[in-house]
Structure 1
Amino acid sequence: MKWLPEPRTFDALTERHGERYKWLLLLVVGIGTVAGVLSTSVFNVAVVALSSEFGLGQDRVQWAMTGFMAAMTLSMLPAAWLLDRIGFRRTFIGSILLLAAASLAGSLATAFWFVVVARVLQGLATGVLQPLAMLVVLRMFPPQVQGRASGVLVLGISSTPAIAPAIGGVLVDRFGWEAIFLLNLPFCAVALAMGLFLLPLPREIRKGRFDFLGALLLSVATLALVEGVASLQGNGLLDPWTLGHFAVALVLTGGFAAYARRAEAPLIDLSLFRQRTFSMGTIVAFSYGFGLFGSTYLIPVYLQHALGYSAAAAGGALIPSGIALTATTPVAGRLADRFPPKWITTIGLVLFGSSFFLFFLYDGRVSYAELIAITLVGRIGLGMILPALNLATVRELPAHRLAQSTVVVSYVRQLGGVIGIAAMAVFVEWRVAVLGPSAVLQAYAQSFCFLGLVILASVVAACLMQHQPAEQRR
């Protein structure tokens, strides 16, 4: 089509735009990533409206969120193969087109099953987009400024969940639930337009076969594990349904490990885990995802269910911590350029985990001001972790392994998030059942303690990560 810009090579685009080209690339991919993050963070505000529209219970409406999260997690697995097979440009543009089409279709849905399908398609696109931005940082920027670039990237991504629910709530109130599907379309349009002009043609295309068997084994194992954790709430640990899913997850994971060792081009090259920094980094990434998504679920429920705040008051209490998170990420990125990233990550983990222990020490009884202060500490820690963790985990690997290693870290982090939400819901219900309805505050206090233990346990893994000075890297 002559009205589309002619794709250019990387060298031609670099010659045209000069030193700013790498920042333009980061901007393009960052906007696309924000479009995906919007789909993740804004949906919850429409749950009540969807329940009313389709005459469903909120548990049924959550299928749309569960389908999105599962699709996003699993679609990360083929991302590295797509990059090798069709290149960065086509992978990004194709994902943006799918996200935009799914969003538009969702806004036109007249039946709930169509909403679920649209959400699953949104999840598939978002999962592929997630690792791409960090790959730009690692491939385009020299080691001395990768922390700064990572901080700028995470600044945009982390600010989205802080403001998206508020904007989404206004749109739902004024225009209905359909508006939440349209919120990311302007970002998709800008990312697509800029991507057509700025994303380069691939330097080479590798025609390796996709590892369908490995993807099937790992996908079913992932779904079985998530369902096993979720079923703890209704069935208990010793229920055959729960144990069966855990058994399936264990067997298939073992089967994948055995298969991957013999496969010529496995979905995940297990030799990556022989590098200590990478293996320890994936442990921290899982813990980070568990804590981020688990606390994102737990804190609002605690504020309304245990402390009795309205939705507006609960949202207002989290605004300062959202601002702190947004402000911390670029600072943490710059610090990661000057100091070993593993120590920035470790400090962030300590702050993040300690904030949950403060809830426990107060036995769940905190004032509004104390609540704001505690969440501020936690979100400052959270803002320190991600820019430094991404760099510490993968940037010392050879260049040809960056795509797969970045995808693996993103997948593990997202898996931790899915399990974190399910695990915290189960843990709260269990503690309320054991302690009784009159001890709701203590139940939430113990839940925060559990979450803090998960985060602080990963401090050991962070300390075991190795550091190579920037001047010694590739």
Structure 2
Amino acid sequence: MQEDLAALQARFGAHYPRWLLGILMVGSMAMVLASTSINVALPAIMLDFAIGRPMAQWLSTGFLAAMTAGLLLAAWAQARFGARRTAQLGLLLFIITSVLALVSQSAWQLIFLRIVQGVCAGIIQPLATVLIFRVFAEGGRGMALGVYGLGVMVAPTLGPTIGGYLVDHFGWAAVFWLPLPMCVLALIGAQWLLPSQREKSTPFLDVWAFALLGVALFASLGALAEAQRFNWYELRVWLPGLLGLAAFTGFFVRSKRSLKPLLPLRLWRHAGFRSASWVALTLGVGLYGSTYLIPLYLQTVEGYSAGRAGLLLLPTGILMGAASFFGGWLSDRLSAAVLLIGGLLVFALSSAGLGWIGPGASFVELCFWACVGRVGLGLLLPALSTGSLDILSAEELAQGAGAITFVRQLGGAFGVNLLTFFLEWRHRHEGADRAAEALAFQQSFWLMGAVFALTVLAAWGMRRNRS
């Protein structure tokens, strides 16, 4: 028997919305833990499997790229299977791949499992926002979203910290069983608390568009990864690059002609939404790129253990959560453009600071500049949501929110890949020794700061582009 939200509320009473919010937070936090805790384990994985950064970065970019594609399947999966079954199938597959990762014999096996986990995360996470909007329709939605957002922000704070400690004591495999207790709890809770109702008419799923998007993402990322080791004119570099370009072209052409596209391109007819998309792309680069670069820098150049690197990131997450709440409060009082410009400049200052202090800096100095960056990101998150969606009509809000999230995740996937490419290039160019490694990291931080500073132009455009 299918149960909808009304039936579940009648069964569990007035406390049902809070219980549902709790189980949604647990499931989402497990996905975020998996996406961020891997970064403190990368040096140990590189050592164990004798691989370099070009291959190791796939553990991060593969997950993010698959999650980006998975986001576009979420609405279809929920309608086709119902929220309960969608969440349970995604969590069960996530648990199975986590267990298989513990017995992986090669780096490519581990990368493949991370890609599968990324698809699961992409499908599961959007369910939370949809259900919160529906169950808190009569009031308390803002507070519920705030509590949910705070919980999700705690996960990237705790992930590297707990993950680093576990890696030091139990090896890199610990980051794969770290989210498992939360996954099991969410899997069991979903059976009682998530609605099982399906839509009578399942939305159209453009399988060809999804396939083209998958090929485009992984072929393009593959070309950039191979270019870190080989010359651009070699077949193994330019062929996947050409394939990725062709697949992206095919995806956009099909999306433009489709009546029900996976990605509604008509949203970008708004000049303000185009500007917001540039900011979202840069936000993804900073959010995931810094989470990738900082732990790697601390362990590779500064000689930190995984646990100490994770400990340095603990206050950064706390400040990011506080800044996000403050940014949400300011969003009701200041224009989105002002907040976006402020957040971009604060993060640019942080990146410049990390590049300027150089190797040998104290724990406090490094932590300070990392915290400054998280304050900037915290200001950006709510301002981007309000600034991008205020431009759209009421009928376009749901699609606009999904599109901005898609662009942000896309920025994260390609940002990590491009930063790794730049890091490897500068390392070789500066002499490929230990001093060159430190200098390459400094230049990578400067590059990230320059990208954020340039994106101020797009944020400024949102001030006047409102149609």
SS of match in other structure, 2:263: coil
**Separation in 1 of the partners of 2:198 and 2:445?**
49
Out of 275, 290, 298, the residue aligned to residue 293 of structure 2 is 298
> Letter of the aligned partner of 1:74 in structure 2?
A
| Offset, 1:126 | 1.0
| Offset, 1:332 | 2.9
| Offset, 1:236 | 4.4
Gaps of 5+ in 2: none
Are the equivalent residues in 2 in contact too, given 1:42–1:161 (CA < 8 A)?
yes
Indicate the residue corresponding to 2:240 in structure 1: 245
Indicate the residue corresponding to 1:127 in structure 2: 122
Indicate the residue corresponding to 2:159 in structure 1: 164
**Separation in 1 of the partners of 2:73 and 2:124?**
11
Indicate the residue corresponding to 1:458 in structure 2: 455
- Judged with a 3 Å threshold, the aligned counterparts in structure 2 of structure 1 residues 93 and 387 are, in CA distance, closer, same or farther, namely farther
Indicate the residue corresponding to 1:100 in structure 2: 95
Are the equivalent residues in 2 in contact too, given 1:325–1:379 (CA < 8 A)?
yes
- Judged with a 3 Å threshold, the aligned counterparts in structure 2 of structure 1 residues 115 and 302 are, in CA distance, closer, same or farther, namely closer
Are the equivalent residues in 1 in contact too, given 2:168–2:307 (CA < 8 A)?
no
Q: Deviations over 1:374-422 (max 9, x none)?
A: 1121111112222332343347656665554443333322221121112
Indicate the residue corresponding to 1:229 in structure 2: 224
1:46-85 pair list within 5 angstroms: 46-47=41-42, 56-57=50-51, 64-65=59-60, 67-85=62-80
- Judged with a 3 Å threshold, the aligned counterparts in structure 2 of structure 1 residues 93 and 390 are, in CA distance, closer, same or farther, namely farther
**Separation in 1 of the partners of 2:307 and 2:331?**
36
379-388 or 162-171: which moved more?
162-171
> Letter of the aligned partner of 1:444 in structure 2?
F
| Offset, 1:157 | 1.9
Are the equivalent residues in 1 in contact too, given 2:423–2:440 (CA < 8 A)?
yes
SS of match in other structure, 1:210: coil
Q: Deviations over 1:199-248 (max 9, x none)?
A: 23447443343211111222211112212322332234555544443333
Are the equivalent residues in 2 in contact too, given 1:340–1:467 (CA < 8 A)?
no
SS of match in other structure, 1:464: helix
Indicate the residue corresponding to 1:423 in structure 2: 418
Are the equivalent residues in 2 in contact too, given 1:154–1:330 (CA < 8 A)?
no
1:283 has 2:293 as partner: no
| Offset, 1:302 | 2.9
**Separation in 2 of the partners of 1:399 and 1:21?**
28
Q: Deviations over 1:418-473 (max 9, x none)?
A: 211121122122223334444555443332221012222333333434799xxxxx
SS of match in other structure, 2:77: helix
Gaps of 5+ in 1: 1-5, 469-474
1:352-371 pair list within 5 angstroms: 352-362=347-357, 366-371=361-366
Q: Deviations over 1:328-364 (max 9, x none)?
A: 3333334435554454343222211221122345567
Size of the alignment, in residue pairs?
463
> Letter of the aligned partner of 1:412 in structure 2?
V
- Judged with a 3 Å threshold, the aligned counterparts in structure 2 of structure 1 residues 413 and 365 are, in CA distance, closer, same or farther, namely same
Are the equivalent residues in 1 in contact too, given 2:165–2:310 (CA < 8 A)?
no
**Separation in 2 of the partners of 1:307 and 1:173?**
16
**Separation in 2 of the partners of 1:79 and 1:358?**
39
**Separation in 2 of the partners of 1:280 and 1:417?**
18
Indicate the residue corresponding to 1:375 in structure 2: 370
Indicate the residue corresponding to 2:443 in structure 1: 446
**Separation in 1 of the partners of 2:307 and 2:106?**
30
SS of match in other structure, 2:260: coil
- Judged with a 3 Å threshold, the aligned counterparts in structure 2 of structure 1 residues 358 and 165 are, in CA distance, closer, same or farther, namely closer
1:36 has 2:31 as partner: yes
- Judged with a 3 Å threshold, the aligned counterparts in structure 2 of structure 1 residues 237 and 113 are, in CA distance, closer, same or farther, namely closer
Indicate the residue corresponding to 1:471 in structure 2: none
Q: Deviations over 1:260-301 (max 9, x none)?
A: 222232222211222344433332221111112211222233
> Letter of the aligned partner of 2:26 in structure 1?
I
| Offset, 1:317 | 3.2
| Offset, 1:34 | 0.9
Indicate the residue corresponding to 2:186 in structure 1: 191
Are the equivalent residues in 2 in contact too, given 1:290–1:419 (CA < 8 A)?
yes
1:291-370 pair list within 5 angstroms: 291-337=286-332, 339-362=334-357, 366-370=361-365
- Judged with a 3 Å threshold, the aligned counterparts in structure 2 of structure 1 residues 439 and 144 are, in CA distance, closer, same or farther, namely farther
